[in-house]
Chain A
Amino acid sequence: MSNRGQARLQLLKDLGGPGIDAGAIAEIRAGYGNKNAGGERRQTLIIPTMNAPSAPITVPLAPGTWSVEVELPWGGTVTQDFEVLENESTDVDIESPQSPHEELTWLHLQGAVPSADIEFESQPETEREAQSETLMHEILGDTGLSLLETRGLIGAARNPRFGKAAGAQPKVRVSDLPMQVIELALHKSESAGLSATVSVTGYRDNAMRIDWGTIAITRGAISDAPFADLETIHSEVGPGDDAFVTKTFSLPAIDYHQAPFERQWVHVEGFGERSLLSVPSPWFPDGSCGKITVVARFVEEDRGFAQLVIDDPNMAALLGYMTDDRLHRAALLADYAQDSLFGKMIRPLAACCGGYVLVATRLHDRKADQHWRSWVDNLNNWFEWLPDGAILEGFMRLNGPRDIRDFDRAAECFATAFDRGLPFITLGLPWLLSGLRTLESSHPTLSAAIPLVERVARLSDTSRPFTTLRLPTNDSGGP
């Protein structure tokens, strides 16, 4: 029997600083000619993502040829072959598509901006449009790499009802407590082709009401008080680039043990679209949400979308996988991070993300230790402001019942979720709707909620991890 060697694996990505231990999901397979591998022909691992060969993961392997396939959090897959020698360590630095701009690398990791097109040249408009629709194919040098094209993010086709944004000058509005609304607008520069700048204007006394029946925004007087940390990362792009704008800000901390408190939303307007993005706050144990970045991207003159990204390295990859409903990949990261997500329940929203992933992918395994079910119960019972906690418990009891009373309890949970308001996490909407519709016949009191939830679900941009609604351009309210 040959002596084993080692492979030291990491996914190369310039993060502008320290990497992430739980960076991506990789599968290692023995090569066809590798007879030494025996029964250990395949493994699934969590590998780190970093920009320097500092702390890759070390895996003992039988000597011979191997390949590693990494499904990237930001979309697509890369594959690389490598050779393991007896008693030796082989460095496997897996190249991957990089962010189009260095300062956007964290957004890129979470799937909020597409990868750089490293062979981009000035192209005819139709080709540029095709490129900007994220079906990009990269050649990654002489490494035998294979790349399944990055799905990236497609700007959803515009509903004809929404039409173009009213008025020639989109406005940006900022409000302060209690109505937490931050607004970004995109201005088109005619002279430079597809380019954008962003302007920020503060307004006081904004009134905003968002519930199942009404989404209404009214504006008051201009405020002089700037919002905290309104930092612009990337506000101007030139012709030929994939056009997008980002804005970063932070919000005051919330004491999430003192419910109720006002939900926080971002309103993005421009280029024929209006989006309402739920801010996942409070996110960190101190009740803050850290740095929030809103990415507004447009692919045509009147077609674009917005996404909100939270600056949390430990959750970046998991949120990236959630962006494209690749929950089977996110589940491995949720397993890995169980203690930090659910320990002491000091991060309820992050715990909800983990909860959605585990409930979606682990309910079937009845023989396994499903200790995480108690965490889901706690999310619902401990945080009265959290619709997602109630949705999670309802879905878990409905689809993984342990006794017949679970269906009654699920109905209670879905009713509670509705009362608590719109979910923070996108998955909450279809799960709530499915739960209401499934239990409607046995629990008729749920019926009244269904039309309202359906209407909001129709507005939902389903490809974002945090609830994102696409609104009509009139401000008169109503989904």
Chain B
Amino acid sequence: MSSFIVHDNQAAGRAMHALVIGVGYYPHLLGGTGPRTDSHDGMGQLTSPPVSARHVADWLAKDFHHPDFPRHTVALLLSEDNPQPYVDPLSRSSVPLEEATFQNIKDAVTQWRQSGDQHGDDMLVFYFCGHGISEGHSMVLLPSDFGSDANAYDHAIDFLNLYDGMNQYKASRQCFFVDACRASSDTLDNNRGRNLLQVRPRTEDEVRVAPVYYATLRGEDSYGREERPSVFAEALIRCLNNYGAHDDEGESDWRVSNFRLAEALDHLMLRARKDGSVPAQVPQAESVRLNFYINHLRSPPEANIYVYATPPQALMTARVTCQSTNPPTVITPDSNLANEWAVSVPSGEVEIAADLGGGTPLTKTVEARPIFRNVHLSQP
């Protein structure tokens, strides 16, 4: 069996084991170089998933930080039109990659869950980016060799089997990120995808906590950007690094919880849509029932401040500045969306000063903390 590990910091102690999969090249779908399957359902080649998967793998290798899980391993499988090795962002070593076929994914899942069984209470992270199909409670993920057999679904993954199957293993903290379309299809009426695992009851003492973060709602599409990380992947990394954090456990102890992550993803993807850069896509989190911390920040996060005015047109000729008290820096707005000024500031007390043309400058002090705060100014 091949090894799919592209990063291992070799630290002692409990570990976070990640399995990252990006499938962009589908030889048996539209635009592919292989025999086309009749079950293509209009699906074709994708450029975003390999880029998205590398983006996520890079973050896990370089920026993931959790005192309870000092060791990190990242396994990566990609299918792309022009295969390239993975370059570890820390060591700069170049690692050849295995293709994200059904069998390779099955083998990688086996290694991944075996890794998680070694210490008894590691954390497991799963990220998939590629084609997906869902209907009601069913969902299948498509590896690169989907459609290679007469029954196309002989090379499709039943995601719910994977999710249920992982319940039996030791790692009680598991995070699943499914960055795929969930558009519905007739073909799921008679097909389920294949099982990667045999599902058995959990006999471990700790109950498993395993939230699932979907890039989009059931029945909806998700969107990538050509040759760039997907909308969801970009938002996910920004949330894990910053906007999903809170300091409820203690001042300046910023941690990303699975609860907060869901809210932050919602917001960031809405913002992406609001500025017109992407179509409508609403993420959905399921089984977010018990709180645990996915990442700890090494430094305080930033928060978004959105400034509005009455009347709205007053902002067009206004001079608005944000003064963060920690550190004391004058920050000017870095974007202008119609009737809104948006700025990202360090967390803390922030003073907003604005001259809306009425003669008297307005000031407001707000608590800037992730995810965002609104500030509304009225022209005198």
Contacts and interface: CB of A to CB of B under 8 A. Distances in A.
A197 interface: no
Contacts of B348: 32
A145 B209 CA distance: 33
A6 B188 CA distance: 57
Interface string A270-300: 0000000000000000000000000000000
A148 B289 contact: no
A55 B259 CA distance: 30
A67 B184 contact: no
Most buried by A among B184, B373, B374: B374
Interface in B358-375: 364, 366-367, 371-375
B248 interface: yes
A407 interface: yes
Given A139-B376, A144-B366, A364-B207, A151 B137 contact: no
A393 to B, nearest CB: 15
Interface stretch (B74-82, B263-271, B315-323): B263-271
Interface in A420-479: 429-430, 433-434, 437-442, 454-455, 457-463
B349 A32 contact: yes
Contacts of B233: none
Contact of A154 (B188, B201, B217, B288): B217
A145 B374 contact: yes
Interface stretch (A8-16, A155-163, A222-230, A383-391): A155-163
Nearest to B373: A146
Interface stretch (A232-240, A260-268, A342-350, A397-405): A397-405
B375 to A, nearest CB: 7
Interface in B144-179: 160-161, 164, 167
B286 interface: yes
Interface string B202-224: 11011101000000011111000
A398 B186 contact: no
B374 A462 contact: no
Interface string A134-149: 1101011111111111
Contact of A148 (B136, B202, B263, B308): B263
B137 A160 contact: no
Contacts of A361: 289-290
Contacts of A167: none
A320 B375 CA distance: 28
A contact residues, range: 35 or more
Interface in A313-359: 325-328, 331
B91 interface: no
A144 B364 CA distance: 9
Contacts of B160: 430, 433-434
B199 A462 contact: no
B376 A141 contact: yes
Interface residues of B, number: 64
B367 A41 contact: no
Interface in A148-204: 148-149, 151, 154, 156-161
A148 B186 contact: no
Contacts of B288: 325-326, 328
Contacts of B270: 135, 137, 149
A32 B374 CA distance: 17
B212 to A, nearest CB: 10
B273 interface: yes
B376 A438 contact: no
B334 interface: no
Contacts of A156: 217-220
B239 interface: no
Contacts of A143: 376
Contacts of B201: 398, 401, 407, 410, 438-439, 442
A41 B251 CA distance: 9
A81 B367 CA distance: 8
A133 interface: yes
Interface string B247-264: 010010000000100010
B294 interface: no
11 contacts: A32-B251, A135-B270, A146-B372, A146-B374, A148-B263, A151-B282, A154-B220, A157-B183, A157-B220, A159-B185, A461-B136
Contacts of A398: 201
Interface string B44-81: 00000000000000000000000000000000000000
A49 interface: no
B289 A458 contact: no
Contact of A399 (B207, B217, B263, B377): B207
Contacts of B371: 148
Given A149-B267, A160-B186, A430-B137, A135 B219 contact: no
A208 interface: no
Interface of A: 29, 31-33, 41-42, 65, 67, 77, 79, 81, 130, 133-135, 137, 139-149, 151, 154, 156-161, 325-328, 331, 360-361, 363-364, 366, 398-401, 407, 410, 429-430, 433-434, 437-442, 454-455, 457-463
Contacts of A32: 251, 347-349, 367
B107 interface: no
Contacts of A159: 135, 184-186, 219
Nearest to A29: B248
A274 B308 CA distance: 42
Contact of B367 (A67, A130, A134, A429): A67
A93 B235 CA distance: 33
Interface string B179-193: 000011110110010
Nearest to B250: A41
A137 B267 CA distance: 10
A405 B289 CA distance: 27
Contacts of B273: 130, 135
A109 B371 CA distance: 24
B200 A441 contact: yes
Nearest to A324: B284
Given A154-B220, A328-B291, A429-B137, A31 B367 contact: yes
A161 B183 CA distance: 12
A159 B41 CA distance: 12
Contacts of A79: 373
Most buried by A among B137, B259, B285: B137
A328 B288 CA distance: 7
Contacts of B373: 79, 144, 146
A4 B273 CA distance: 44
B188 A77 contact: no
B124 to A, nearest CB: 17
